[in-house]
Amino acid sequence: MCVCVKGIHTHSCDNVNLSVHSPPPPNFYSISSCCYHHLYNIRLTPNGPSMLEYNCRFGDPETQVLLPLLETDLYEIMIACCAGKLDSIDVRFKENFSAATVVCSAKGYPETYPKGMIIHGLDDASDVEGVKVYHAGTIVNGNDADQRVARCNGGRVLAVTGTGSNLANALALSYKAVNHITFVDESTKNDGLMHYRTDIAKGAIRSKLRIGVLGSTRGTSLIPVMEACANGTLHAEIVAVVSDRSLAPILEKGRSLGVTVTTRFVSAKGLTREQYDAECTSVFVGAGVEYVLLVGYMRILSKGFTDYWAGRCINVHPSLLPKHSGGMDLAVHQAVINNNETESGCTIHEVTEEVDGGPIVVQNVVKICSGETAESLKAKVQALEGPAFIEAIRKKCKTTVSYADAGVSIDAGNSLVELIKPSCKATRRPGCDAELGGFGGLFDLAAAGYKSEDTIIIGATDGVGTKLRVAHLTKKHESVGIDLVAMCVNDLIVAGGEPLFFLDYFATGKLDVEEAASVVRGIAEGCRQAGCGLIGGETAEMPSMYAPGDYDLAGFSVGAVHRDRVLPKNVSAGNILLGLPSSGIHSNGFSLVRKLVEKANLEYISSCPWDKNAGTVGDSLLTPTKIYVKCCLPLLNEELLTGLSHITGGGLLENLPRSLPSNVKAEITGHPPLPSVFSWMKQISGVDDREMLRTFNCGIGMVLIVKKDCVDKVKALLREAGEEIIYDLGVLTDREGTEEQVEMKSILAEQY
């Protein structure tokens, strides 16, 4: 025989020690073939599990409330049972789905009760969406369909089962259907012969969350929780307060709640940590505690305690974890100030064996003011702790789980869209109106001056890389939006195209509307500089995918070029190489940049060592990538270029060959001196010229490949567009065999 008990599966009845409260059916143990039973109504006792019932008929309400929840085909399950192959079936129940059954019985049941009453309202009850009416003690009289009458023929007559997204909704539908039904005696016209309970699942729906508190100090953060429980704004009650200190003021708070609240000092004298925690757990269990708050508790908890209360115990920490985990009280606040952090706060987190390492439930943030002290910061943070506890408890009390509970705020997303609409609107251009809110952005090629039969569409996508980490740490976000656009549109013009429109992707763990709006304002500014429309984007809020405060960016740009103007085109030996200066590091190589900042023992708020006028290290590094669209478009329109090369990751040595045919090479004879930021990095890193040239742009952001007789006109147009500095980089020559395609004939002079 095979027995299943609460997921415990054995192949011998002897292996399950059950106390049976009703005798087994005849020959229960003598059946020679394999027999399967589902046991339910099992009660845990000090002597082990005790079975109250072990059969379940389809006429039982217990079955009728379970069947709607079953996702797997019942027929498959029954066939598998008959064949002895139940373990081969994936028995699944519907998720986020509840059912509730109300039994309609004859008045007087289970004692003496009448029969034969006409059942009215069955059709109306069955028409309630989400309701199934099961018949038990019924009989139908009459032969013709229009003359058939359902009558009561037993004590338990009907079982009305409602289904919904949660128990409360399911129960409401059940009662809605029941209200349509009456049992009527034909002779007396008495319609009050049906009985049903009105308190089904009341305990499950209305019971308050029972809270236990562990504290060692004053318990100031507990006061707002006590008030919220008392005034009904929190559907919870404090039922136990325990302290490891006999004179802890938090015990007085517990006593003030009345004699029904267990208030206990538990002495740790002579007890191991495990033994002490077991004593505390015993007190809580005796008081019926369901959820534990640690309020100023000064002891490290044992694994036994954290395992027992896993997912049901929370603590408050006076910082924005994971920062400053393991720290306590004023030491944490002083560390925040010493690190020159701009904000702090408190974190409510689940308690695990790892100190301050459990999942974060709530974080409340406070800004740090100039002249802040550890004491003043403590007062500000402590004021947040009570409300944070209330928010965490309220999440636990909820019977429904919304998108917001999963960490995604629809309202915040909508607020962001409204906030960025003006910035996006400012990027309008012929072909698009830059309106947000649709499912897709539209662009009219004809309105932009392109005929479809003569036009090639160009697409480019890129990100900002780990430069974002600098933005995260400095809390300066607008410039990286410009970087995002620049990295895409600069690639588009290399193909000879005009950037037409741009879309962005912003992904974060928790949406900070102001932070995201700052990024999008930067994107809009980049689009304005590039002359392309910001026609849409995606904001993805993905809890657990990103650490608190982190986000990532991706950009997508589309451009157009006339079919006969695609670059590179007719690149050959004798063409002249002109260089346009970069604005700084741009958006490549930041993994190495950040490593060098760390090696030099600098912070991003430190004074900039390579440029005294730049302010801080962070300010200099966040200089946005230069956008070359407006200075290059006139050259493309007059067909003065044979090619372009955007100098990004891989530097001049890796990027310039991408625009060259295999039979030519570039001789670099006039590379400018290294700008100060690159000189500093070369000195700190110790790398040679070649490594610098294949890692960074080294001061050259865009290379123009120009026919010799067009050089003067190109320079004139560039100056008209505002380019004051134009470098004569070198020339293209014939390449022999497997020669390097970029030959440096000048050294990297250091400006710093």
d(CA 482, CA 727): 25
3-state class (DSSP) for residue 9: strand
- The rounded distance, in Å, linking the Cα atoms of 493 and 499 is 7
Structure tokens belonging to residue 147: 């003359």
Question: How many alpha carbons fall within 13 Å on the CB side of residue 262?
Answer: 22
Q: Which two tokens stand for residue 559?
A: 């451009």
Find residue 333's DSSP bridge partners.
none
Indicate the helix (H) or strand (E) that contains 28: none
Distance from the first to the final alpha carbon of the chain: 85
Q: Which amino acid is at 164?
A: G
Residue 729: its H or E element: strand 727-734
Helix (H, G, I), strand (E, B) or coil at 269: coil
Q: In this structure, are residues 344 and 309 in contact, taking their beta carbons and an 8 Å threshold?
A: no
Answer for the pair 131, 177: CB distance below 8 angstroms, yes or no: yes
Amino acid identity of residue 745, one-letter, is K
The 3-state secondary structure of 30-96 reads CCCCCCEEECEEEEEECCEEEEEECCCCCCCHHHHHHHHHECCCHHHHHHHHHHCCHHHCCCCECCC
Short-list 626, 639, 615, CA closest to 701: 626
| pLDDT tens digits along 270-310 | 999 999 999 999 999 888 899 999 999 989 999 999 999 99
Q: What is the mean pLDDT of each run of 10 residues along the chain (752 residues)?
A: 36 44 51 49 56 60 84 87 82 84 91 91 94 92 78 92 88 93 91 86 76 93 92 91 94 91 93 93 90 93 92 93 88 92 92 91 92 92 93 78 56 67 74 63 82 90 94 92 97 95 92 91 95 90 79 94 94 97 95 94 94 92 97 96 95 95 95 95 92 94 97 97 96 93 87 54
Distances (CA, A) of 237 to 207, 208, 218, 228, 390: 10, 6, 19, 9, 12
Q: Which two tokens stand for residue 348?
A: 């409510």
Mapped onto helix, strand or coil, the DSSP state of residue 417 is helix
Q: So what's the architecture of 218-397 in CATH? A: 3-Layer(aba) Sandwich (3.40)
Cα–Cα distances (Å) from 259 to 241, 263, 264, 285, in that order, read 12, 9, 12, 17
CA–CA separation, 680 vs 611, rounded Å? Answer: 10
Say what the pLDDT of residue 12 is: 36
CB 533 within 8 A of CB 443: yes
In this structure, which topology does domain 576-744 adopt according to CATH?
Answer: Phosphoribosyl-aminoimidazole Synthetase; Chain A, domain 2 (3.90.650)
Buried b (16+ CB within 10 A) or exposed e, 573-600: eebbbbbbbbbbbbbbbbebbbebbeee
DSSP E strand stretches across 593-697: 641-646, 664-668
The DSSP bridge partners found for residue 731 are 576, 667
User: Degrees (nearest 5) of the Cα angle 166, 171, 177?
Assistant: 135
What is the C-alpha separation between 463 and 540, in angstroms, rounded? 16
Strands 313-317, 2-5: parallel, antiparallel or unpaired by DSSP? unpaired
CATH architecture of the region 94-203 = Alpha-Beta Complex (3.90)
pLDDT value at position 588? 92
689: nearest Cα among 735, 750, 598: 750
CA distance 75 to 78: 5
User: Which ranges in 426-494 belong to alpha helices (H)?
Assistant: 467-474, 478-494
Give the C-alpha distances (Å, rounded to integers) separating 486 from 462, 467, 721: 9, 14, 17
Question: Residue 591: which H helix or E strand, with range?
Answer: helix 590-599
User: How many of the other CB atoms lie within 10 Å of CB of 463?
Assistant: 18
Secondary structure of residue 536 in the 3-state scheme? strand
- CA trace torsion 674, 675, 676, 677 (10° rounding): -100
Distance of CA 566 to the CA centre of its chain: 42
Cβ(154)–Cβ(115) under 8 Å?
A: yes
pLDDT value at residue 416: 66
Among the listed residues 479, 500, 656, the one whose alpha carbon sits nearest the alpha carbon of residue 585: 479
CA-based diameter of the chain, in Å? 115
DSSP 125-166: HHTSTTEEEEESSEEEE-SSGGG-EEEE-SSEEEEEEEEESS
Interatomic CA distance for residues 484 and 724, integer angstroms = 25
Chain-centroid distance of CA 258 in Å reads 42
Task: Sketch the domain layout of the chain as residue ranges.
Answer: 2-64+66-88, 94-203, 218-397, 410-565, 576-744
Does the fold of domain 576-744 match that of domain 218-397?
no
* Structural contact between residues 267 and 281, judged by C-beta atoms closer than 8 angstroms: no
H or E stretch including 635?
A: helix 629-637
CATH of domain 410-565: 3.30.1330.10
| Pairing of β 291-295 and β 209-215 | parallel
Please give the pLDDT value at position 277.
94
The two structure tokens encoding residue 700? 């050259």
CA–CA separation, 663 and 574 (whole Å): 12
Which residues lie closer than 8 Å to 315 by C-beta, 6 or more apart?
Answer: 293, 294, 297, 348, 349, 351, 356, 358
Write out the H or E segment, with its range, that includes residue 393.
Answer: helix 374-397
Tokens of 417: 């869209």
Strands 533-541 vs 498-508: parallel, antiparallel or unpaired: parallel
Burial of 22 (0-12, 13-18, 19+ CB in 10 A): exposed
The Cα 415–Cα 428 span in angstroms is: 21
CA distances 392 to 208, 313, 315, 528, Å, are 15, 11, 10, 44
90-99 pLDDT per residue, tens:
888 887 788 9
The residue type found at 628 is Y
Reported as half-sphere exposure (CB side, CA atoms, 13 A), residue 54 has a value of: 20
**Distance between CA atoms of residues 607 and 612, nearest Å:** 7
- 552, amino acid identity: D
